[in-house]
Structure 1
């Protein structure tokens, strides 16, 4: 065999090997995910964010062919879990169920800022907008917004309200109610909406501003009495329930939202894969029905639209959060 022929053969084999490796790499990249994905919920189990995560995550598991495992990492109003995702490897295997709290309120009230809501995350999809609701234990002596205001004014500082943590939307919902209604209530913060809700259902704390999805079953079951929804308009799942504004507290409005984020600098193709799976999950008939049952408004956005949404929310809520005086250590 001549030297030139041998060199040509070696060149051919080297080229074929390179093509094989390149093809293998492309195949591996296209095959994402090849192992389970961890979806961090930065609050305790049982709250609205947890409910949305489990509904969407279960369907994403079917669509992606790999388990989407929910990991509840509560603490500091969602800051603990969010920080963990911000610092994770940006390979798509650790993602976050972010909220108005993690990406609009915390940046304004954290004593020590451990992440940048815009720069430290990759937006994936805005999933849903969620109304809040004011609920009371059935033993509380009021059934309407006006009656609640009368009771609180007649008993300043006697009653307390529970929330999912200092600086969360549920906390600020209560502070806004106090401010507009010129009433006094004691704030009792918990490590998530689930534990707070349990104490209100048991009667340990009489009042709570909660996300409607997590309170809906208790309202329908009679364990909680709904006073009013916090949105501008009534919701389809409880059409007879007035808004707090129309119930007697003009100008009152709060809400929350749920969205998927990854760490900064995630590859575009992985973001696209997760975005498609999340948005397709929202189109599933069962997922749509269950979210509609609790009046969550389904969105399903592009990554770019979620990125813009976060910037708008930061500008809107930062002044309100700071005015509340809330500080998360």
Structure 2
């Protein structure tokens, strides 16, 4: 609580210190570009934060869903936008964690082309399967996938997204031969896992909660560092000996490099105040999303650490995408 209060206090002080030209910002609508279609966790975080930022700053924050290319389309749009504070990105582990290492070539530099504003949220990931899949755990899943190559399909939120990339890591690290089936967002993929059209998904918890509660799907393992309250009996991938398959989905705001620091400070301050609100915490936690927050420097270090972590993991796995 004290840490959160300190963050909010520093955010308020930052607003008080911004130059006069930033006091009137924004004077027109601001775009928050999202890398995935409407629906799902990223879109929820974007819409919750856009509403709060708009209310606080007196201008509409428009959520602009630009799916495709594993987030490259959205990220490149922001990287090449004017650094005036009116085009922002909801970045993720896909655009600024795994993606830069797994893609042969990106149209943007994940560090040089952006300026961090604030880390918004994090989400643990799971290996989730259709309840009728005849395996009780990950070792049995791997054994079945090797015994019957490509008989098991895994859904993703789209080619190049975190669920796809983590699935590719799983394949390369474990040797499991499973087929990728991309969907337009996590929600339809989760629905088809529950329905049995595909058998598996590597994803955040949120889209799968109703299917887990109904008994149509089951958690085989936690991909995140710790076991999860929703499935306390499911071991982590690290416990199973596959520590290279470990990830948490995260989201945060970035702006184009060169954006005035005063505007970044203002966006950061209002973002932290929004993240501290009880209704924001409740709405996101209900979807399995943990709020974050902090300074632009905190977020910059977080991204550097993510890039440093995923580089050797991806290299060792051998996973690559065009």
Instruction: Please say if 1:297 is aligned against 2:293.
Output: no
Q: What residue is the counterpart of 1:115 in the other structure? A: 108
Cα distance change on mapping 1:109 and 1:175 into 2, 3 Å = closer
Distance (whole Å) between structure 2 residues aligned to residue 297 and residue 192 of structure 1? 20
Distance (whole Å) between structure 1 residues aligned to residue 102 and residue 207 of structure 2? 25
Q: What residue is the counterpart of 1:313 in the other structure? A: 306
Q: What residue is the counterpart of 2:7 in the other structure? A: none
Aligned 1:47-196 pairs, distance under 5 A: 47-196=40-189
Deviation at 1:241, TM superposition (A): 4.8
Distance (whole Å) between structure 1 residues aligned to residue 76 and residue 63 of structure 2? 16
Q: Secondary structure at the match of 1:34?
A: coil
Distance (whole Å) between structure 1 residues aligned to residue 82 and residue 65 of structure 2? 19
Distance (whole Å) between structure 2 residues aligned to residue 76 and residue 269 of structure 1? 32
- What is the TM-score when the length of structure 1 is the normalising length? 0.83
Q: Secondary structure at the match of 1:70?
A: strand
Q: Please list every run of 5 or more consecutive structure 2 residues that lacks an aligned counterpart in the other structure.
A: 1-18
Say whether the 8 Å CA contact 1:167–1:326 is kept in structure 2: no
Bigger radius of gyration? 1
Q: What residue is the counterpart of 2:270 in the other structure? A: 277
**Structure 1 residues 133-192: Cα deviation after superposition (integer angstroms, max 9, x where no partner):** 112223323343344334334422211111234443322322333344432211223454
**Structure 1 residues 36-86: Cα deviation after superposition (integer angstroms, max 9, x where no partner):** 211100112223211221222222222222222111101110000110011
Q: What residue is the counterpart of 2:318 in the other structure? A: 324
- Number of corresponding residues: 302
Q: Secondary structure at the match of 2:213?
A: helix
Aligned 1:193-208 pairs, distance under 5 A: 193-208=186-201
Q: What residue is the counterpart of 1:15 in the other structure? A: none
- What is the TM-score when the length of structure 2 is the normalising length? 0.84
Q: Among 236, 243, 249, which residue is 1:244 paired with?
A: 236
